[in-house]
Amino acid sequence: MGGSGQWLFALTVLLYLAGAVAYFVHFYFRQWDRLSLWLARAAWVAHSLALLSRVAESRQPPFLTGYEAILFMAWVIFLNYLMLEYLFNLRVVGVFLLPVLFTFMVYAAALPKGAEPDLPAAEYWVAVHAVIALGGYAIFALAFVAALMYLLQERHLRRKDFNVVYQRLPSLETLDGLTYRLVVYGFPLLSLAIITAAIWAREVWGVPWFHEPKALWTVLIWFMYGAYIVARVRGWGGRKAAYLVVAGFMAVLFNLFVVNLVLTQRHVF
């Protein structure tokens, strides 16, 4: 990665860290309101420029290596959060989300930065598959944060601990509904990613996609989120449903950070 790309990446990490601190202070003390707002947006702008710098350097889509995939997914996560904040005025989600993004960026910093060889023209549609898959994972990351907030709020209610955290968090109904809407939004993306990957694997590798460890783990994730949606439709919600969403995203993280590095040679995302 070139000098400008390294500088922009480092700036992005620092801004996410500063934004996380500012959001935390704002959550507890109602200070640094504008500062937290602008730090978060500055982080996303720097993140966008880092991605553009990567594209300019490699002349390929910014998700063909493990480093790029994490960088791109974190960017999509925060883009969706900004839309969520704008539409529903749920800035409190940022308190829990920014530390997650900072962790992703620190992990990405430890990955190799070299670019992949030129992608054959016949395989450029793989970029579409990557965008769909990483976009679905990004939505599930937001659902994970909403589910964690639900569990935290439910714990305070169960213990009748009506402290500042309880007062700042949205209601259980709001968090439960938000989690469900996010999973319903992300599930079709994951489904489409599985379908396109299966077709491509048959044409390019000559073997069924499901012979690959990454594929089997992705199908498991699909079943977990599918089970959550079916359970919700049948009226099953609350704490157990939130735990299922948390477990689903733990499976996503295992898929990204363990399966990719240890069990497969054909995937970086």
pLDDT in tens, 197-254: 777 666 655 555 556 778 888 899 999 999 999 999 998 888 999 999 999 999 999 9
Dihedral sign (CA 94, 97, 103, 105): negative
Mean pLDDT is lowest, of 157-161, 188-192, 218-222, for 157-161
Tell me the pLDDT tens digit for each residue of 2-54: 567 789 999 999 999 999 999 999 888 877 788 988 999 999 999 999 999 99
Q: Percentage of the chain with pLDDT > 90? A: 53
Residue type, 41: R
Give the containing element (helix H, strand E) for 227: helix 213-233
What is the rounded distance in angstroms from the CA atom of residue 225 to the CA atom of residue 182?
11
Summarize the confidence of residues 166-187 as an average pLDDT.
94
pLDDT given at position 62? 82
User: What distance separates the 2 farthest-apart alpha carbons in the chain?
Assistant: 60
What is the rounded distance in angstroms from the CA atom of residue 148 to the CA atom of residue 177?
13
pLDDT given at position 122? 42
